Amino acid sequence: MTELTLDLTNPEGHAVEAMKAQTGLLDQFILFGDSITQQACSQERGFAFQPALQNAFIRRLDVINRGFSGYNTSQCLAALPSFMPKPSQAHVRFMMIFLGANDAVLPHTSGQDVPLNLFCANLKNIIQHPKVRAHATSVDRNMHAIKIILVTPPPVDEYQLEDSPNLNVRTAERTKSYADSCRRVGEEMDVAVLDLWGIVMKKAGWKGKDGEVLVGSRKRERSEVLGEMLHDGLHFKPSAYEVLFEATMEIVKDKWPSEDPEEANFNYVLPRWETAPWAE
């Protein structure tokens, strides 16, 4: 059987002269985070973020879930070298970094808390990690530089957390401080920031006025919106994953329009069946 390699600069074209590719055929979209990311592939409750994202980029990118339940940024920084592929193995075109929910737990409670200054330093070290930066530039296969999407930790619902003893170590106010810091890190590092905290809070009716009590705090009336989006005060229901998906696709279209899977020039890696080669 003849081994065929396609000209990846013209994905809809015919197979070119046989040669062995040194990397995986499809570039990767890595989802790096904690339990909210780990659970993003589960369709037990309904809509799921990872399957939706994979469907959007089907035959263009492989969406890889690297969510680690319970992990904080210090643990994720230590884990990163164990899963991040070398460019010679697979090229990472997108990397979503979605951390902070566990860093933000109250000190002297679950043992997961990370001080705010260390949280910021960890995010910067993840973004600047040599294994991440190795995908920043490459001349092989006309690879695209890695595109990082930094997601702020989402709001919590203190009312629901009261019913979850293992999770009731978080507050709306403390989580906001980590979301604010995450946003600043993204600006400092010049990477795309998906302000999920802000998006959800806006949907929940928070105006951001001086002195306004945070939605999700027990100092304010219970939020129906947070109740519809979170199933235990922290983890997502399908509607929250839908918000994350829509915001992700919006940021891709806005910042990297040529990477929009609906863009006519962002073709399948392998050709459509009409022009696909047959085995000899």
DSSP letter string, 104-160: TSPTTSSS----HHHHHHHHHHHHT-HHHHTTT---GGGPPPPEEEEEPPPP--HHH
Residue type, position 144, single letter:
H
Q: Percent of the chain, pLDDT > 70?
A: 89
What's the domain range around 92?
A: 25-156+172-201+241-259
In a domain, 118, yes or no: yes
Going by pLDDT thresholds of 50, 70 and 90, the confidence category of residue 164 is confident
- Looking at 37-41, 227-231, 271-275, which range is the least confident one? 271-275
Write the pLDDT tens digit of every residue in 237-250.
Answer: 999 999 999 999 99
Tally the C-alpha atoms within 13 A of residue 244's C-alpha that lie toward its C-beta.
Answer: 32
**136's tokens:** 């920043």
The whole-number pLDDT of residue 24 equals 61
Residue 68 located in a structural domain: yes
| Mean pLDDT, rounded, of the chain | 89
Alpha-carbon gap, residue 182 to 33, rounded angstroms: 14
Q: Does residue 265 fall inside a structural domain?
A: no
Residue 271 in domain? no
Query: What's the burial of 279, exposed, middle or buried (CB within 10 Å: 0-12/13-18/19+)?
Result: exposed
In the chain, % of residues over pLDDT 90:
79
Q: Which position has the higher pLDDT, 3 or 44?
A: 44
Looking at the 3D structure of the chain, how many domains does it have?
1
pLDDT above 60: residue 85:
yes
Residue 107 lies in a domain: yes
HEC secondary structure over 224-273: HHHHHHECCCCCECHHHHHHHHHHHHHHHHHHCHHHCCCCCCCCCCCCCC
Q: Which of 79-83, 100-104, 112-116, 256-260 has the lowest mean pLDDT?
A: 256-260
Q: Which segment of 9-18, 96-105, 228-237 scores lowest on mean pLDDT?
A: 9-18
pLDDT category of residue 6 using cuts at 50, 70 and 90: very low
Alpha-carbon gap, residue 174 to 242, rounded angstroms: 25
Question: What's the pLDDT at 41?
Answer: 96
CATH number of the domain within which 72 lies = 3.40.50.1110
Q: What is the pLDDT of residue 16?
A: 28
Residue 7 within any structural domain of the chain: no
What pLDDT, on the 0 to 100 scale, is given for residue 143? 54
Q: Report d(CA 56, CA 63) in Å as an integer.
A: 10
Whether residue 12 lies inside any domain: the answer is no
Residue 231 lies in a domain: no
